[in-house]
Amino acid sequence: VADKSELSKFNLHFSHQIKNIMDAYWPGPLTIVFPVANNETLGVRIPNHPFVLKLLKEYGPLFVTSANISGEKDAINLNQVLQYFDGKINLVVDGGDCQIAKPSTVILASTPIKILREGAIGVKELEIYQQTLS
């Protein structure tokens, strides 16, 4: 999404703690996974890339996949993304090489929050929002 105001479109509920984390790290390399219904979840991110933010502001939220495959080396440029997803996706936007060599950190918006994947934002950086992370 382009900004936090768009979260209301998805009827997401979150704690003050999650709001503080959003304020600190969005836009940026943080994906927050929200429980929605029937054990389903929705991962949300506000990227820190001028072209993608402009695209999101003009056309609204995008439902996309990560360019990183679990267990594989992180994709940091167009050629790597095309190699990993050859024949599996219809569109790739080339925004240039990644400026941060690590993928986004992924957390579950639960109480307590749970780190699903440590990435560009480390556990120590999130500790100020929670005494113990699981």
The model's pLDDT over 22-35, given as tens digits with 9 standing for 90+, comes to 999 999 999 999 99
To 5 degrees, how large is the angle CA 107–CA 99–CA 18? 20
Contact present, 107 and 32 (Cβ < 8 Å): yes
Number of Cα atoms under 13 Å in the Cβ half of residue 56: 21
| pTM exceeding 0.95 | no
Overall average pLDDT of the 34-46 stretch: 93
